[in-house]
Amino acid sequence: TDAHRQLLPHRSVQVLLFDAENRLYLQRRSKKRRFYGGRWDISARGHVHVNEAAHDAAFRTLRYQLGLNVDKMQHIRQLPACAETGHEFVSLYVAKSLRQPSPNPEVASEGYFYTQEELTCLVRDFRELLTPGLVTLWESGLAFPVS
């Protein structure tokens, strides 16, 4: 988007989706994506539209990217706009679902639920396959905010 190209601060949402076993769903970004195509990323992320509440954007993003409607979502953190967040003011949410996500092929080619230990191994041994945003969340201890 223009905001990213011009490094302008803007609002976004990130959703961490967990299953009943507290495994985190990661999506593999479509190779068609402009940024980090083919890399593993958090469950869902998107921009907040003009005059849209971040909470509503989180539900919309989860529905659009993973085909899921959830009953509730918990806001856990606000992250400041900086280079590590792509100059985005990030509203971070957690959701749980017993249903299997159905990734939108325009956004994600596939997805998988990972344990905390599996994600630790991915970050340690295969960092180049992950988006910087996912690595930043993991390093800050926010990838698994609830246990």
- Mean pLDDT over residues 126-145, rounded? 93
Cβ count within 10 A of residue 45? 23
Question: Could you tell me the pLDDT band of residue 82, with boundaries at 50, 70 and 90?
Answer: confident
Position 64 scores a pLDDT of: 97
Q: Between these two residues, 104 and 136, which has the higher pLDDT value?
A: 104
As a dihedral over the C-alpha atoms of residue 13, residue 140, residue 130, residue 91, rounded to 10 degrees, the angle is 0
